Amino acid sequence: IDFGYRARELSFVMGKGAQEKTEISINFKKFCTGKGYILDLNSSNNSRIYGDDWFKFVSNCKGMLGVEAGVSIFDINGDIIKECKSYLEKNINCTFDKIYNDLLHKYEYSDKNIYYRTISPRIFEAAAFKVCMILYEGQYNQIIQPYVHYIPLRKDFSNIDEVFNIFNDKKQRQKIVENAYDHIIGSNLFTYAKFIKGFDSIIDEFKFCGLPDQDFQKLNRNIAKKKNLYVLKFYLKKILRKFYFIRLFKYLHHNLLFFNK
């Protein structure tokens, strides 16, 4: 397989970021017409691959398409989905572009919207199997860099010829693949051990999120006593039920993604 990809269709209410996950494969197919590439690109639910079959699929691809994970509209209290549902009931067979221009754009670029685009586990899988990544331009938490670890694809496909030229150059493609493997896998910067160490350091700073002293001390005592992540999970659920959920979410989101820096 020259280019592989899997995704699923997501609701309009999740914004442009969610729609990118299906549009990349649809548009990429069009530009591949007549070029002789072997494609396995699909975004339907019944085409999804699970378990070991997914790893076999990835390892059988020379190139893998990808976008940033997450969505671009974060509906905290459910108000947006209600408004979206009402709009769609009045505008049957509405396209995403129409509902976006009429309604959703004001939420995507709102100061109240939480930025929720992040690097995907698929990036790590592709790097581990030494598959060349062709990714929509994005931040990817500044972990990977265009032309170094992946081939960047503009969202309007204006550089598609450049993408094909780089991919077809075996030496250049292999260099990008090796760079990605060495940085993401070989460096040991992104292991579970590293993640837990960073997570522990954030837990030590929970007081800055407004966690009451007695809960913080109880959390530390139980974790130290039982050394059990299930205990941590239990107390985190308790914490997240409290009124400072949004503040805590923003704090964890920022720090968990950047503790490796």
Identity of the highest mean pLDDT range in 113-122, 180-189, 195-204: 180-189
* pLDDT band at residue 222 using 50, 70 and 90 as cut-offs: low
The residue-averaged pLDDT of 98-126 equals 84
Which pLDDT score, from 0 to 100, does residue 71 have?
85
Tell me what the pLDDT averaged over the chain comes to: 81
- Hunting for tokens 């407004």 — which residue is that? 210
Mean pLDDT is highest, among 71-75, 77-81, 149-153, for 149-153
- Give how far Cα 206 sits from Cα of 68, 93, 113, 193, 217, Å: 28, 47, 23, 20, 11
For the record, the structure tokens of 104 come out as: 């959703």
Q: Which pLDDT score, from 0 to 100, does residue 202 have?
A: 67
Q: Model confidence over 118-161: pLDDT tens digits?
A: 898 899 999 999 999 999 999 998 999 999 999 999 999 999 99
73 DSSP assignment: -
Give residue 172's Cα distance to chain centre: 26
Which tokens hold the place of 193? 């051990």
- Give pLDDT, residue 190: 84
Q: What is the pLDDT of residue 255?
A: 47
Q: For the sheet containing 132-136, what is the strand order?
A: 39-42, 3-6, 63-66, 132-136, 151-153
Residue 239 pLDDT greater than 80, yes or no: no
Across 216-222, average pLDDT: 60
Domain range summary for the chain, segments of one domain joined by + = 3-71+116-186, 192-258
Which fold would CATH assign to domain 3-71+116-186?
A: Rossmann fold (3.40.50)
**pLDDT on residue 118:** 87
- At 25-56, the pLDDT tens digits run 999 999 999 999 999 999 888 888 988 899 99
Q: For the residues of 91-124, what is the DSSP string, one character each? A: STT--HHHHIIIIIHHHHT-TTSPPEEE--HHHH
Find tokens 């929720």 and name the residue: 116
Other CB atoms within 10 A of residue 39 CB: 19
Phi-psi region at 28: left, alpha or beta (left = phi > 0; alpha = psi -120 to 50): alpha
Rounded CA separation 251/247 (Å): 6
Q: What is the DSSP letter of 114?
A: P
pLDDT of residue 259 exceeding 60, the answer is: no
Over residues 10-38, the mean pLDDT reads 91
User: 64 or 210, which is more confident?
Assistant: 64
Per-residue pLDDT tens over the stretch 159-190: 999 999 999 999 999 999 999 999 999 998 88
Assess contact for 139 and 116: CB atoms under 8 A: no
